[in-house]
């Protein structure tokens, strides 16, 4: 039975065939249901004000295309039910990092352009390469929009309706013309000849991506650049809201992915309906309640055109990204337990976003702009996030060097980042390949924070960290239980490079008091470069021979 209305309403027609056969009446019900969900989502949240300029982030995929169609339909309705915001569309061309050739890129751009032109909204075509030219200010939250706190949503709506009426009386055309076909306005050059960015920029972008060590980090980086680009466009063109087309399925995947990335503290911000960490521009996810399957049906029934972008190129020995792993897992589990995705989604709903707003700059993550989530964390828990910088060891303590020298070291970035971003950042390439705006902002932050940082470092260098302290104690007491196979001198036990920014002095030169037995083993092992396991076994045997037990 068709129960599109959810309360026993609907048309009562047989539902199964409706979905498959595209019968006129039945698909109307589906459409009603679909549209209602979209409008209800926007309506109950009350954050899109009438007359507000909204930027729709469209990738050409099924979800964002469906979202575009929804907005289109919403705006073309009769006045009472009409959506009242002013949409524009932005498309980010990622062909360069997705391994498309120039011709392919041209082609998909043209394809996308005709598609966007057909919608009649103003649109922007942006290339990912332009991310390299972003200003550093993109990494700072903008000032909160003044309009929101001032006026209540209800007042704003009523005021807008009044205006519309007056306008309608005076000049009928101008009232409705806002969303009208104004494709010529497209700020990104003439639609006829989409220009690709200069090859040099493309090369630089490719270099950035190739230096990234893992697919996981690549995806994270791409996501970051994309959102920054969209954000920049929104800011410069005066948009206060950005809509992205993340479906329920995608949200569930992202929840688990971000959990595994160590971003547990920010799940609500990363996946919630609204994301206002950027201050002036709010990211809204109106498709959160649609399953990917519903979207697919919708697109299929109503002939919503989509453009498929190829995935990030992978090499054979690349490990799958965390997102791939999670996605595959969820899809498989969904088959056995059909409620898996919605369960994960609903679990995510119960997370709250409080305390993710940083109170000051020094508490804000450089990349994701969330409040740092590292206070009060155990030292051992932070160990995976630290970078051991060899260059740093050779210098005599960063604190006495001019910070300018240290700022370009990778480890200098670590204190600026949250847990999840640290892990990702570790897998990015050398600092010199990073986008200029990230480097510029980091430089600024490092300089401004420098005095404070030095103090921290001094304090930290005083007491060695817990595990190491205990360890040294262990060694000092000579209780390292089995007699050390090789007499390891004191120097070897000195903690090295645990905190990236705490290195008060040069590490003492290794003083090895190598016993005869130890020496013989060292020589033996160095001569024969067998796999580790063999060496270990050998040492064990030897030790047993000597009556020692490792």
Query: Binding other proteins by CB under 8 A: which of 268, 287, 295, 446?
Result: 268
Query: Binding other proteins by CB under 8 A: which of 13, 325, 431, 454?
Result: 325
- Of 491, 422, 505, 513, nearest to 461 by C-alpha is 505
Give the interface segment with other proteins, choosing from 10-18, 360-368, 397-405, 524-532 (CB under 8 A).
Answer: 524-532
Query: Binding other proteins by CB under 8 A: which of 377, 447, 523, 541?
Result: 377
Size of the site for other proteins (CB under 8 A): 82
Query: Binding other proteins by CB under 8 A: which of 254, 263, 277, 410?
Result: 263
Q: How far is the CB of 302 from other proteins (least distance, A)?
A: 33
Give the interface segment with other proteins, choosing from 106-114, 130-138, 287-295, 383-391 (CB under 8 A).
Answer: 383-391
Q: How far is the CB of 549 from other proteins (least distance, A)?
A: 7
**C-alpha span between 252 and 506 (Å, rounded):** 48
Query: Binding other proteins by CB under 8 A: which of 81, 378, 516, 545?
Result: 378
Query: Binding other proteins by CB under 8 A: which of 265, 295, 367, 428?
Result: 265
Measuring CA to CA, how many Å separate 114 from each of 107, 191, 193, 194, 393?
11, 9, 12, 11, 56
Q: Binders of other proteins among 295-324, rule CB under 8 A? A: 319-322, 324
Render the burial of 371-390: b for 16+ CB within 10 Å, e for the rest.
bbbbeeeeeeebeebbbebe
- Of 60, 74, 62, 65, nearest to 31 by C-alpha is 74
Query: Binding other proteins by CB under 8 A: which of 41, 125, 326, 434?
Result: 326
Q: How far is the CB of 205 from other proteins (least distance, A)?
A: 24
Contact between 420 and other proteins (CB under 8 A)?
Answer: yes
Q: Which is nearer to other proteins, 402 or 463 (CB)?
A: 463
Question: Are 144 and 279 contacting, i.e. CB atoms less than 8 angstroms apart?
Answer: yes
Q: Which is nearer to other proteins, 130 or 258 (CB)?
A: 258
Contact between 384 and other proteins (CB under 8 A)?
Answer: yes
Measuring CA to CA, how many Å separate 442 from each of 21, 142, 233, 414?
56, 17, 22, 10
Which positions ≥6 away from 38 have C-beta within 8 Å?
A: 67, 70, 74, 286, 287
Q: How far is the CB of 26 from other proteins (least distance, A)?
A: 33
* Angle 304-310-316 from CA coordinates, rounded to 5°: 150
Q: How far is the CB of 251 from other proteins (least distance, A)?
A: 13
Query: Binding other proteins by CB under 8 A: which of 34, 85, 298, 419?
Result: 419
Question: Are 330 and 257 contacting, i.e. CB atoms less than 8 angstroms apart?
Answer: no
Q: Which is nearer to other proteins, 88 or 334 (CB)?
A: 334
Query: Binding other proteins by CB under 8 A: which of 79, 114, 236, 347?
Result: 347
Q: How far is the CB of 378 from other proteins (least distance, A)?
A: 5
Q: How far is the CB of 264 from other proteins (least distance, A)?
A: 3
Question: Are 319 and 214 contacting, i.e. CB atoms less than 8 angstroms apart?
Answer: yes
Write down the residue that tokens 């070897």 correspond to: 492
Distance of alpha carbon 442 from its chain centroid, rounded?
18
Q: Which is nearer to other proteins, 210 or 329 (CB)?
A: 329
Give the interface segment with other proteins, choosing from 113-121, 240-248, 370-378, 451-459 (CB under 8 A).
Answer: 370-378
Give the interface segment with other proteins, choosing from 51-59, 142-150, 198-206, 528-536 (CB under 8 A).
Answer: 528-536
Tokens of 442: 């980091």
Q: Which is nearer to other proteins, 206 or 393 (CB)?
A: 393
Question: Are 242 and 283 contacting, i.e. CB atoms less than 8 angstroms apart?
Answer: yes
Contact between 260 and other proteins (CB under 8 A)?
Answer: yes
Tokens of 87: 């949409």
Q: Which is nearer to other proteins, 176 or 542 (CB)?
A: 542
Contact between 25 and other proteins (CB under 8 A)?
Answer: no
Q: Binders of other proteins among 450-509, rule CB under 8 A? A: 463, 465-471, 473-475, 480-481, 484-486, 488, 492-493, 496
Question: Are 304 and 198 contacting, i.e. CB atoms less than 8 angstroms apart?
Answer: no
Q: How far is the CB of 464 from other proteins (least distance, A)?
A: 10
**C-alpha span between 453 and 473 (Å, rounded):** 28
Which positions ≥6 away from 290 have C-beta within 8 Å?
A: 34, 37, 63, 66, 247, 248
Here's the x/- map for other proteins, 327-346, by CB under 8 A: it reads as -xx---x------x--xx-x
Give the interface segment with other proteins, choosing from 160-168, 187-195, 282-290, 534-542 (CB under 8 A).
Answer: 534-542
Strands 282-284 and 274-275: antiparallel
Distance of alpha carbon 278 from its chain centroid, rounded?
13
Measuring CA to CA, how many Å separate 387 from each of 4, 369, 394, 491, 500?
54, 21, 15, 21, 6
Tokens of 363: 């508490």
Q: Binders of other proteins among 176-235, rule CB under 8 A? A: 214, 216
Give the side-chain half-sphere CA count within 13 A for 188.
Answer: 25
Contact between 388 and other proteins (CB under 8 A)?
Answer: yes
Q: Binders of other proteins among 104-143, rule CB under 8 A? A: none
């Amino acid at each position: 039975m068709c129960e599109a209305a959810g309360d026993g309403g609907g048309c009562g027609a047989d539902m199964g065939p409706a979905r498959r056969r595209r019968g006129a009446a039945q698909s109307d019900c589906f459409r009603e249901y679909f549209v209602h969900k979209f409008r209800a989502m926007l309506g109950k949240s009350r954050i899109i004000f009438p007359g507000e300029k909204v930027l729709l982030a469209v990738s050409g995929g099924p979800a964002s295309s469906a979202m575009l169609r929804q907005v289109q339909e919403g705006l073309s309705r009769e006045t009472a039910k009409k959506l009242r915001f002013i949409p524009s569309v932005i498309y980010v061309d990622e062909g360069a990092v997705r391994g498309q050739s120039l011709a392919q890129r041209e082609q998909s751009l043209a394809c996308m352009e005709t598609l966007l032109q057909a919608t009649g909204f103003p649109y922007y075509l942006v290339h990912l390469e332009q991310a390299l030219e972003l200003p550093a200010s993109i990494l700072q939250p903008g000032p909160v929009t003044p309009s929101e706190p001032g006026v209540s949503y209800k007042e704003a709506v009523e005021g807008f309706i009044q205006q519309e009426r007056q306008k309608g009386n005076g000049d009928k055309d101008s009232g409705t013309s806002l969303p009208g076909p104004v494709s010529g306005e497209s700020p990104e050059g003439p639609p006829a000849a989409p220009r690709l960015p200069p090859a040099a920029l493309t090369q630089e972008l490719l270099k950035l991506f190739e230096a990234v060590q893992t697919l996981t980090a690549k995806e994270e980086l791409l996501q970051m650049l994309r959102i920054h680009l969209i954000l920049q466009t929104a800011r410069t063109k005066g948009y206060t809201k950005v809509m992205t087309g993340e479906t329920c399925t995608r949200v569930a995947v992202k929840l688990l992915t971000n959990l595994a990335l160590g971003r547990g503290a920010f799940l609500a911000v990363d996946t919630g309906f609204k994301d206002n960490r950027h201050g002036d521009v709010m990211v809204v996810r109106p498709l959160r309640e649609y399953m990917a399957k519903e979207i697919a049906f919708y697109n299929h029934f109503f002939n919503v055109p989509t453009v498929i972008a190829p995935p990030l190129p992978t090499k054979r020995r690349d490990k799958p990204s965390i997102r791939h792993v999670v996605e595959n897992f969820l899809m498989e589990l969904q088959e056995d337990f059909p409620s898996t995705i919605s369960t994960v989604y609903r679990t995510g709903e119960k997370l709250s976003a409080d305390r993710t707003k940083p109170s000051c700059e020094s508490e804000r993550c450089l990349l994701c702009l969330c409040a740092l989530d590292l206070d009060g964390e155990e030292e051992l828990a932070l160990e995976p996030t630290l970078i051991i910088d060899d260059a740093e060891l050779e210098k005599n303590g960063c604190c006495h060097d001019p910070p300018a020298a240290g700022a370009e070291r990778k480890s200098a970035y670590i204190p600026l980042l949250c847990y999840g971003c640290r892990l990702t950042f570790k897998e990015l390439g050398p600092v010199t390949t990073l986008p200029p705006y990230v480097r510029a902002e980091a430089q600024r932050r490092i300089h401004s924070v420098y005095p404070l940082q030095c103090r921290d470092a001094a304090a930290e260098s005083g007491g060695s960290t817990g595990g190491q302290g205990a360890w040294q104690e262990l060694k000092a007491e000579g209780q390292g239980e089995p007699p050390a196979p090789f007499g390891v001198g004191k120097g070897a036990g000195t903690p090295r490079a645990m905190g990236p920014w705490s290195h008060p002095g040069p590490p003492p030169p290794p003083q090895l008091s190598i016993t005869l037995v130890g020496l013989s083993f060292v020589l033996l092992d160095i001569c024969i470069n067998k796999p580790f396991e063999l060496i270990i076994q050998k040492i064990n045997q030897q030790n047993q021979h000597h009556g020692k037990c490792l």
